[in-house]
Amino acid sequence: MGKLLTDEQIAGFHANGFVTRIPVLTPAEVAELVARTEAFEAERPQDVSWAFDIKCNLLLDWVYELGRHERLLDAVEDLIGPDILMTNGVYRNKNPGSAVDYGWHQDSARIQVDPTFVICYVALSPATSENGCLRAIPGTQDRVRPFSLTEGPGQRKRLVARVIDVDESQAVDLVLEPGEAAIFHSNLVHGSAPNLSQSRRMALLYDYTPAAARQNVGRGSGQLVRGVDHWNHFGHEPVPEPGLTEGNVLRRREILGTYHENVLMGPRLPGETVTFPDRPY
């Protein structure tokens, strides 16, 4: 028995590559996060597209704080151990009718991390088959599959790996209620379809990496959210100030410019200019 997960859940993660329906947030906590998100969207609509993207845990204090939630970290610790770096936080919202289709992919395809990192999807709204919930192919976490590179949806100039050959008949929908989480292995083949419903899908995704881990290419960075880092394999990131401040913007820019060879952006190709979503003014 782990801190939060049962032995059966932990065994299921190792067998299938994911564990789902983990209760993390109370209804009041969900309501507060939704309110913070919607208030920001209403007050600063010009900033949503970039501020909700890569490493928004360096920009928005409430994203950082959710990533440090005790129940969430208890579940992560049960899977990767007690010394934990939060190496990304990002919104993944789909409005009603959104055509965004995150095709089949593995998050560790372009840069491998050993020991593995995990990704946690925290639902702020129902995640259903109709509104584009995560879909996964159980058991595909055993190795990196052949892939092709393409531009990510809504992420201009960012190359993403798409698995070439997928047996979609094996896919499982990771249906979640608000406040529940799913955690999956970085090698798991997964994706999500367009939102065909009249309801909004809201979620925050986090990457958690064992502090002892190494990348096979370049050097990543993260915030130490539990335990200790005796290894210093990853650069250390600052804690954001409250609100979207100038300091937060500049520090995130420095981190992404310095540690640009990470699992989010992939290895730097010959002659490639480092680009990432940033303040456009």
Q: What is the pLDDT of residue 9?
A: 98
pLDDT bin (cut points 50, 70, 90) of residue 25 is very high
pLDDT bin (cut points 50, 70, 90) of residue 153 is low
Domain residue extents for the chain: 7-258
The mean pLDDT value of the chain amounts to: 94
**In sequence order, which ranges of the chain are alpha helices (DSSP H)?**
7-16, 27-43, 48-51, 61-67, 70-80, 246-258
Amino acid identity at 217: V
The answer to whether 104 touches 139, Cβ cutoff 8 Å, is no
Asked whether the whole model's pTM tops 0.85, one would answer: yes
How far is it, in rounded angstroms, from Cα 278 to Cα 281? Answer: 9
- For the segment 208-234, what is each residue's pLDDT rounded down to a tens digit? 999 999 999 999 999 999 999 999 999
Q: Does position 167 have pLDDT exceeding 70, yes or no?
A: yes
Q: What is the pLDDT of residue 102?
A: 85
pLDDT bin (cut points 50, 70, 90) of residue 155 is low
| Higher-pLDDT residue of 165, 92 | 92
CATH level 3 topology of 7-258: Jelly Rolls (2.60.120)
How far is it, in rounded angstroms, from Cα 199 to Cα 197? Answer: 5
Cis preceding linkage at 27, omega within 30 = no
